[in-house]
Amino acid sequence: MDRCDGYHRINLRPRCIMVLKTENLGLRIPKDGNTIFEKLSFELNEGETGFVSGPAGSGKSTLGLALCGFLPLWAGSWDITGTIFLNGKLLEQGSNPAGTGMILENPYTQISGLKRTIFHELAFPLECSGVSPEEMPSIILKYAELLEISHLLDRSIRTLSGGELQRVHIAGTLMTQPRFLFFDRPLTEIDFEFRPVLMDIVCSSIKQTGAAALIAEDPWLLQKDSFDKEIVLGKKGDVEQTEWHQPVHTVNVASHIPQKAVLSVESLAFYYEADKPVLDNCSFSLGNGDITLVTGPNGSGKTTLARLIAGIIKPARGAIILDGSPIDTMEEWEIMTAVGLALQDPGLHLCRKTVGAELELARKWGNAPGKYVELLGLDRLLDIHPLELSQAEKKRLGMALACGIQRKLLILDEPTQYQDAEGFGRMVNAIITLAGEGRALLIISHDPRLFKVFPDAGIIHLSRADIS
């Protein structure tokens, strides 16, 4: 307060209280001498949200880990230079600083593995922050309602869809009200309708609690200009390369191949729990060279539909006919030979020590991916351990493993997730080439780019328990 002419005058200019500050932050990998980023200096004040942009491999996730103090420097994989201050205090890596929270890029790796239900999973971060058991239920219910997951609280976390899981992690991170939050691709698994709602929830929570946050996300999934700051990683010009233009290998989509039904789905119904239909009366068909996109809100049954067609689970009613044969008359190996499934969580594909060995296994089973290894940019990664790949590379490996030569039908569950412009172009080229060979493609997606690139594709929109 200033004193002026005998009156007390309140200074209305808001004070900027700094939450996070970096000075000349740099990160290198000593093994190969590669610099991930360097000379990064910025500040975030209370109530501010910043956008982190940069192409694949530019260090967004590693920056997030470093800013939250989670970099396992003892593992010897990184050299960090410069300083990070949180609330004015120097942040040491590995010191488990109170007051930071992170949403990991891969929601499947953020599950605690300790709790039986979603309610208990959400109670876990509150327990760790010392909230009393009496206060917990009302906090959990409030955030569950905000993230539209109240109906899931009694369920086991292992049964959630990708988007439902992402919402649980975001609720769990927001409810402990950390001073600084890093969101690593929080929208990748979230459906079209809920994305803007989620960003509103995050930004208003940051403002109300006086915290600060950084959000690393693909620019085509959100409104960049709604952020207070932008932090750009990668070489100048890389970031702008977000629009995918023309595929390098264009193929005339199967116009030369006589049309024949590859897949017919007739009046399909499915329930995980009695009286709660996930799919009901779902019918469609796919012919040679057809590309059909499946969309719909989180939890509407897209992945379930994929599992049904791949013969992993059995329908309650209806028929699935593959190349003229009902799949309930086919042996498991016959379905696996004819149907390729690239999973939403690509980590579930991986079981060998190198990318080359994963591909070799597919070849031994008679479904070699052939030219798709190169088309998907995996030829330069053959000696790498599959778990060392980025999420984008894991997705492309999952796609290659699905593309085996005998596969007539390919089901791709969110294939373009995590892909920058180059990865997206490779995926699109592979899809066009597969269709050109007369394979039928059922592609589950929340990626607006894919709908632009295939304007003539069939679209199946699932809503809860029905199809329109």
Ligand X SMILES: Nc1ncnc2c1ncn2[C@@H]1O[C@H](COP(=O)(O)OP(=O)(O)OP(=O)(O)O)[C@@H](O)[C@H]1O
Q: Which residues sit at the interface with ligand X, rule CB under 6 A?
A: 159-164, 189, 191, 272-273, 278, 296, 298-304, 344
Give SS3 for 144.
helix
Query: Minimal distance in Å, beta carbon 150 to ligand X?
Result: 13
Q: Which of 148, 334 has the CB closer to ligand X?
A: 148
Query: What is the closest distance, in whole angstroms, from the C-beta atom of residue 301 to ligand X in the complex?
Result: 4
DSSP code for 209: H
Q: Tell which positions 336-365 bind Mg ion, by CB under 5 A.
A: 344
Nearer to Mg ion, 53 or 300 (CB): 300
Shortest spacing between CB 290 and ligand X, in angstroms: 21
CB 175 within 8 A of CB 143: yes
Q: Which two tokens stand for residue 154?
A: 């009694």
Instruction: Name the minimum Å distance from CB 367 to Mg ion.
Output: 23
Q: Which listed option, Mg ion, ligand X, none, makes contact with residue 304 (CB within 5 to 8 Å by class)? A: ligand X
Largest CA distance in the chain: 93
The H or E element spanning position 171 is: helix 162-174
Nearer to ligand X, 216 or 278 (CB): 278
Residue nearest ligand X by beta-carbon distance = 163
Give the three-state DSSP class for 415: coil
Is there a contact between 431 and 462 (Cβ–Cβ < 8 Å)?
A: no
Give the tokens for residue 183.
């969101």
Report if residue 303 touches Mg ion, rule: CB under 5 A.
yes
Does residue 288 touch Mg ion according to CB under 5 A? no
> How many whole angstroms separate alpha carbon 300 and alpha carbon 269?
13
- Is the CB of 120 or the CB of 229 nearer to ligand X? 120
Residues 145/148/153/158 CA torsion (nearest 10 deg):
-150
Triad 201, 465, 280: Cα angle to 5°: 160
Q: Smaller CB distance to ligand X: residue 306 or 389?
A: 306
**Shortest distance, CB of residue 164 to Mg ion, whole angstroms?**
9
Pairing of strands 18-29, 79-86: antiparallel
Span of 131-139, 165-173, 174-182, 301-309 interacting with Mg ion by CB under 5 A: 301-309
Query: Among residues 301 and 377, whose Cβ is nearest to ligand X?
Result: 301
Which residues bind to Mg ion, rule: CB under 5 A?
161-162, 302-303, 344
